[in-house]
A and B are shown apart, each in its own frame.
Chain A
Amino acid sequence: MAKILLVEDDNLVRDMLVQVLQRASHEVESAANGEEATELLKKIKPDIMVTDIIMPKKSGITLISEVRNQHPNMEIIAISGGGRLDPTGYLDLSESLGASVSFEKPVDKSALLMAIDLLLHGKKENAS
């Protein structure tokens, strides 16, 4: 079980992902954009952050680079459906900025959950 911060601007996708993650017995906090996420991160210390890339107010790219600096231990998973560029372009960028794993939307549920487990496992190993 992990403490996860989910950042996603699309209500439908956010609610769905919250449910998916909760069903996999993770503890989930959610934010609708980068700004909200930064606010939330002042109060909570999640293990993993799952973030969309294209969002209003503060984009996932900015958020990732900020989080990478301020919370170096937090694992980041980037997801994107692409925009004017193809999703891989954004995902490559997010990975180079510090995201551990990235997925193209629509994300395969089991792949996402598996990635979360693996990252969590790796963290624990590092810690011990």
Chain B
Amino acid sequence: MRLWPNLRSKSLDSSKSFLPGQWLFYLFAAIGVILSLSIYIVSLHVHIKHVHTALFNLDNLTTQSNTEIVPRISVLPVSAKHYADDYSVSLYDQWEYEPDEIETQLFYLVPVLGVLIIILFIMAMRLVRIARANVRTLDQTNQTLKREISDRMQAEDTKQKLEKALLQGQKLQAIGTLAGGIAHDFNNILYAIIGYVEMAQDDVEKNSLVYKNLGKVLEASHRGRELIARILAFSRRQQHHELKPLSLKTTIENVLSLLKPTIPSSVTIEYQVDTHNECAIMGDQTQIHQIIVNLVNNAVDAMDGDGLIQIHLSQVTASDPAFHLFPQLRPRNYCKIEVIDTGYGMEQSTIERIFEPFFTTKEVGKGTGLGLATVHGIVKEHDGEIFVTSQLGTGSTFIIFLPEYSPLQS
């Protein structure tokens, strides 16, 4: 399979050398010229011989000997009469030499052959030129094609990468559109269900099975309401947010004090600040709240309601050697938030998909698969990066880098 494309490209490259070169046509021309010249010489020789013979015979006829007659070299066969005139030999009248047919034909053959060869030569040259031009065009086409193919392949590659990235974005956008579109109707539907069920509950005895079953209907409706609220919250995230300088240290403190009462008492939360700085970033307060809430809730769920969640806040300076652990990060000053849990941990395949919207490992109804997708989106919006490390059985660590804000920079 690998041989074929190599072979193909080689034959395409060297296609020029397969065509007869110009030298072959020069050779033909040379042969033609030599051939016609030799024919000419031979025929001239024959002609001279004939003239000699004729003159010799004439000598014999006449008594006049010792006549030195050197026949003029002529490019065309001439009659003996012509010589006789030349040499003023009156007796030459009796000379009956006439050039024979073959002689004449040979003489006429020379220019005909020459012209023919020249025509052939010109035609051959023309052919060569056309062939050359074709080869050049082929070569050019080949080059253009090759370039086109590589361009296409590159484009395809870029397209695939973009598509992958877009897919994520499109998913999110689709949810947003969908959520906005259906939220109104869906809330109306839920509202009708809830309202009627509540009234029906008022009409039956509180201990009856009907009352309890209606309670289940209400429970389901409330779950639906929560789902819509979460999807709406997620789609709202895509709207533009105004970023303001804020202190991560106090923001996290505030959100944790709000969060603590909502999490099970068997889960301990530790907040540790490893810096004397306030850790200022350009951010949206509500969105930073959301990050912490989602990550902590995620950790609580991962621990099955029992364990320790550590939240570390620290600073990473641009010169920190730890930067090559995270090649995605541009070297600059960052604030680092780590959320460490002692939960189940995750497998590699789970880690790879953890930020995908609608990806969830939780039971039906417990998670929407939007929590971490939201976190990811927010971090990206803040020009930051999020990483996750995990070990099955020991727990997971989410590391968030947010660019540090210093008033001097702006």
Contacts and interface: CB of A to CB of B under 8 A. Distances in A.
B236 interface: yes
A23 B180 CA distance: 33
Contact of B187 (A20, A84, A106): A106
Interface stretch (B18-26, B67-75, B195-203): B195-203
Interface string A19-37: 1100100000000000000
Interface string A77-119: 0001111111100000000000000001111010000000000
Contacts of A23: 199, 202
A10 B180 contact: no
Contacts, number: 64
A81 B199 contact: no
Given A20-B195, A86-B232, A106 B180 contact: no
A19 B199 CA distance: 8
A84 B189 CA distance: 17
B232 A81 contact: no
Give the residue among B181, B186, B188, B199 with the most A Cβ atoms within 10 A. B188
A105 B180 contact: no
B180 A85 contact: yes
Contacts of A107: 191
Given A16-B199, A20-B199, A107-B191, A81 B184 contact: yes
A12 B199 contact: no
Contact of B188 (A13, A84, A86): A13
Given A13-B191, A13-B192, A106-B225, A86 B236 contact: yes
A82 B191 CA distance: 13
Interface in B187-240: 187-192, 194-196, 198-199, 202, 221, 225, 232-233, 236
A107 B195 CA distance: 9
A28 to B, nearest CB: 14
Contacts of B54: none
A52 to B, nearest CB: 8
> Which size class do B's interface residues fall under?
20 to 34
A83 B195 contact: no
Nearest to B198: A109
Nearest to A90: B184
A81 B191 contact: yes
A83 B202 contact: no
A54 interface: yes
A82 B195 contact: no
Nearest to B203: A23
Given A19-B199, A23-B202, A106-B225, A12 B184 contact: no
A81 B199 CA distance: 20
Contacts of B246: none
14 contacts: A12-B192, A13-B188, A13-B192, A13-B195, A17-B195, A23-B199, A23-B202, A81-B186, A84-B180, A86-B183, A86-B236, A105-B190, A106-B190, A107-B191
Given A81-B186, A82-B184, 12 more contacts: A13-B192, A16-B199, A23-B199, A81-B187, A83-B184, A85-B180, A105-B188, A106-B187, A106-B194, A106-B225, A107-B191, A109-B195
Interface of A: 10, 12-13, 16-17, 19-20, 23, 54, 80-87, 104-107, 109
